[in-house]
Structure 1
Amino acid sequence: MSEKKKKDDLLIHIVTPFIVLFLCVGIFIAVMIKPSDKLKVYLNLAFMDNLKSTPESAGSGLIVRDNEIIDEYDGQTYESGEVIHPKFGEMYAVLTTSAFDISIPVYWGSNSELFEHGACQSSGSKILGEEGNSVISAHEDTFFSELYKVKPGDTVTLKTNYGEFVYKVTESISFNKKDSRYVSPSETSKLTLYTCKKDILGNADERIGVICEPTEKKFYKKAGEGSSN
């Protein structure tokens, strides 16, 4: 009987560390579920995946072009004119708004690396100055951390190297990440800005943002005067 008890004690001593290790690993995995879910959402934040247009090289050898954008243009301007199509990874605009005092760089295309540099616009939406829906998003804890301050009646201005475009906020929006109605192409010209809704539990399925209508276009060249890239 004593011999059996010794064997049982030895077995317990051998098995116990493995049980403790298993429990620790399980707890660690459970704790990491929410942060990893949130990270996954951020990496797929812009334009509902099906509107994203990302080259194969994005994230591995992506060239980020930080262009200097014209701040004050003192030449003649036109209501319609020439647009310059940016390359993927190129900063092509600067966004400002009457709602807060921050200038936000806007990059053409969207991936995790570009989201670290500024707001991103998918090449699946319309370039600024063209007819249709221009959709721009950014992380809620970085460049669009104050987007919640933007309300109907506020103005949003986007400056590029081919023109300046002013919008008036007409609607505040809230939608689920699977709802593509606000980010889909449209026949009417508008600007859509959005980000993840803040959630301390890490559930970033909801989006908040604004819809803006164009009020002023200032092209620096007439159509046909310059060459589009």
Structure 2
Amino acid sequence: MKRQSRSGKLPLAVQILLPLLLALLCGGVLLLASIRPYEIAKTYLRIGFMDSGSTNPNSGTSGLNIVETDIDTDYTGATSAEGDVAVSAYGSQCAILECKSAGLYVPVYWGGGSELLEKGACQTPASAVIGSTGNSVISAHVNTFFHDLNQLKKGDTVTLYTTYGKFTYEVSEQIQFQSSNDGCLKQTDDDRLTLYTCEMQLLGSSDTRIGVVCKLTQREFYTDDTKGGTP
């Protein structure tokens, strides 16, 4: 019987397949990198170490004055079902959005654009001010702050904290629409909150938007000025 070679040389089949396997592995790494997972990690680090005890203006690269506002999420003072809302300056944080069932805890800024979307979610200025009558519209990037927006289900609770009150919503429906169709984002006669983001794509961007519509279930305007936070 012919003895098998012990020279240590790899069999021919392995020599041919090994470079192919390495190429496939590198391609897979590049594909995963295209969804920019580092941005997700950066986002949660930013939220975890966000200075919630101060009002911190930052001048962006385009000169936008970005303000992180002190918003109390543990207010224990007196509240009322009626009160006055406050319109934030463009670029200022106007709320904190929380949905415990989906693990969302997101700062919300009044305005839009790439600089604000790097800091958190954005409320469309043309939409209803949080706590007032109409449709309040908030959006964020799917690869950062609204990465888990698709986890929201009918019946889930969404809370918006502001300097003047706490507003509770219940998810009533999931929505999907094209970027060219903004019907879901227009004003309404009822009190609602619309959250949306782009549909996740491994490569490139999508024209499809996904989100939820939530109905307002409770208004709690702060009546103790010493505990409501600093506008």
Partner SS state of residue 116, structure 1: helix
Measure how far apart 1:58 and its partner are.
8.4
* Cα pair 1:59 1:112 within 8 Å, conserved: no
Per the alignment, residue 70 of structure 1 pairs with 72
* 1:59 to 1:135, Cα distance in 2 relative to 1, 3 A: farther
Per the alignment, residue 208 of structure 2 pairs with 206
Matched, 1:217 2:219: yes
Per the alignment, residue 194 of structure 1 pairs with 196
TM-score, scaled relative to structure 2: 0.69
Listed as ranges, the gaps of 5+ residues in structure 1 are: 1-34, 36-56, 223-228
Structure 1 residue corresponding to 2:161, chosen from 159, 162, 182: 159
Measure how far apart 1:221 and its partner are.
3.3
Matched, 1:118 2:120: yes
* Cα pair 1:110 1:122 within 8 Å, conserved: yes
Measure how far apart 1:201 and its partner are.
3.4
Per the alignment, residue 141 of structure 1 pairs with 143
1:93-121 deviation per Cα after TM superposition (whole angstroms, max 9, x unaligned): 00111322231000000011000000000
* Cα pair 2:91 2:109 within 8 Å, conserved: yes
* Cα pair 2:106 2:120 within 8 Å, conserved: yes
Q: Which amino acid aligns with 2:188?
A: S
- After alignment, is 108-117 or 59-68 more displaced? 59-68
* 1:111 to 1:59, Cα distance in 2 relative to 1, 3 A: farther
| Equivalent pairs, count | 169
Structure 1 residue corresponding to 2:83, chosen from 81, 84, 90: 81
* Cα pair 2:60 2:66 within 8 Å, conserved: no
Listed as ranges, the gaps of 5+ residues in structure 2 are: 1-33, 35-58, 225-230
Distance (whole Å) between structure 2 residues aligned to residue 201 and residue 115 of structure 1: 20
Structure 1 residue corresponding to 2:93, chosen from 91, 94, 97: 91
1:114-141 deviation per Cα after TM superposition (whole angstroms, max 9, x unaligned): 0000000011001101100000000000
- After alignment, is 184-193 or 213-222 more displaced? 213-222
Distance (whole Å) between structure 2 residues aligned to residue 161 and residue 92 of structure 1: 8
Partner SS state of residue 182, structure 1: helix
* Cα pair 1:118 1:143 within 8 Å, conserved: yes
* Cα pair 1:58 1:111 within 8 Å, conserved: no
* Cα pair 2:104 2:148 within 8 Å, conserved: no
* Cα pair 1:107 1:121 within 8 Å, conserved: yes
TM-score, scaled relative to structure 1: 0.70
RMSD value over aligned CA atoms?
2.0
Structure with more contact order per residue of length (Cα contacts < 8 Å, sep ≥ 6): 1
Measure how far apart 1:59 and its partner are.
5.9
Per the alignment, residue 54 of structure 1 pairs with none
Q: Identity percentage over the alignment?
A: 43
* 1:155 to 1:177, Cα distance in 2 relative to 1, 3 A: same
* Cα pair 1:189 1:213 within 8 Å, conserved: yes
Q: Which amino acid aligns with 2:69?
A: N
